[in-house]
Structure 1
Amino acid sequence: MDQMSDQNDRRIPVTELDIPLDRDVFLRTLIRELSGVLEDVVGLEEASGFISIVGQNIGNQMDLDYKEALGVSRLTRAQVADVLVDLKARIRGDFYIIEQNDQRIVLGNRACPFAEKVIGRPSMCMMTSNVFGIIASQSLGYAKVSLEETIARGDAGCRVVVHLQPDVTSEAASGHEYFRS
């Protein structure tokens, strides 16, 4: 062996290197890059559509999980609001209820579950829209989710309005509609 090889052998073992990588960081980065490729290749609207399908599937499963755990076939409005906050807390989001009534649930958020990986990737917000919309609509019959502010678009936090009634206010709001299946 030459002298350079001997020096390389005395370095810190790779397993002891300070590399910011674990399963969470890897999966968040994977989703960020996947959404970025989709946005670049098919455009933001189509990328959001693909991510919506994933969000719908996850929303259906979470809806069933919460209903089973609570022993109910449908959630009340108050339970829907609590579930939306709880599920985000379980995945390291920091959602909280700003307001809730029979017409809408308004949520704020200080921390995205995707953390910094969501910045500049608004299509990733379709996960929130679909999960919230599916859970609300399956129990309450209807939901329209409006992502008024998002960390992904550069806002300091998120403001998400889940409209629970098809009315003039929900019709005027931008967002996606969900209906009980």
Structure 2
Amino acid sequence: MSKVTSMATRDFKIELDDVSFFQGMIGTLAGTLEEVVGLEDAASFVGVVGGKIGDDLASQYVAELQGQPPNAEVLGTILVHMKSRIGGTFRIETFDEDEIVLVNSRCPFAEQVKGRPSLCMMTTNVFGRIVATANGYAHVEIEEAIATGHPVSGAGSPVASGKCKWL
């Protein structure tokens, strides 16, 4: 039997933690899907996953609200809260009785989202399921996306915007 060498017990100084590993895994998975099956099918696949995650999150927020129907401001706050819990930086820009406009300066997928627009289906479907659970219908549009290289603000942060609408 061999003895353990100092090299075997060394703490390697590499950029690796659980968050960056999973961001890299999701980014690589999305990029591979886009290359192999095409953007449309990759987005559909990511959308199905987002729908399932959205259903689960919607039920958790409904339980937290204890049967109180959320208004647009509360719905916007829920969406911002959910994204902040997973590393996104969203804020409510405007809202009225049938529309919420959100702005994002950091995607939870970090740098891995750039050039991988299929990952935007995760946001649209999760947001859509949460809003539709509350209102019966949702239409989510991402008008500008970090994934597609939309411009950087003067402060150096990418800014993406989108709308959640319902009838």
Residue type matched to 1:39 in 2? E
Question: Is residue 97 of structure 2 the alignment partner of residue 95 of structure 1?
Answer: no
Cα separation, 2, equivalents of 1:65 and 1:11: 47
In structure 2, the residue matched to 1:168 is: none
**TM-score (normalised: structure 1):** 0.81
Distance 1:10 1:68, change over 3 A: closer
Residue type matched to 2:123 in 1? T
1:75-86 paired onto structure 2 within 5 Å: 75-86=70-81
Unaligned ranges ≥5, structure 2: 151-157
Cα separation, 2, equivalents of 1:73 and 1:20: 44
Cα separation, 2, equivalents of 1:89 and 1:79: 15
State the Cα distance separating 1:109 from its structure 2 match.
0.6
C-alpha root-mean-square deviation of aligned residues, in Å?
1.5
- The DSSP-based 3-state class of the residue aligned with 1:34 is helix
In structure 2, the residue matched to 1:164 is: 166
Question: Is residue 38 of structure 2 the alignment partner of residue 49 of structure 1?
Answer: no
Cα separation, 2, equivalents of 1:113 and 1:65: 20
- Partner deviation per Cα, 1:138-175 (whole Å, 9 max, x = no partner): 1112111111011111112210111123xxxxxxxxxx
Q: Percent identity?
A: 40
**TM-score (normalised: structure 2):** 0.88
Of structures 1 and 2, the larger Rg is shown by 1
In structure 2, the residue matched to 1:118 is: 113
1:1-181 paired onto structure 2 within 5 Å: 13-14=9-10, 16-72=11-67, 74-155=69-150, 156-165=158-167
- Partner deviation per Cα, 1:15-50 (whole Å, 9 max, x = no partner): x22111111111111111111111011100110000
- The DSSP-based 3-state class of the residue aligned with 2:103 is strand
Residue type matched to 2:164 in 1? V
CA contact (8 A) 1:148 1:159 kept: yes
- The DSSP-based 3-state class of the residue aligned with 1:106 is strand
Cα separation, 2, equivalents of 1:73 and 1:47: 36
CA contact (8 A) 1:77 1:140 kept: no
Cα separation, 2, equivalents of 1:101 and 1:75: 13
Cα separation, 2, equivalents of 1:44 and 1:157: 23
Unaligned ranges ≥5, structure 1: 1-8, 166-181
Q: Higher mean Cα deviation, 69-78 or 32-41?
A: 69-78
Count residues with an aligned counterpart.
Answer: 156
Q: Higher mean Cα deviation, 124-133 or 73-82?
A: 73-82
State the Cα distance separating 1:75 from its structure 2 match.
2.9
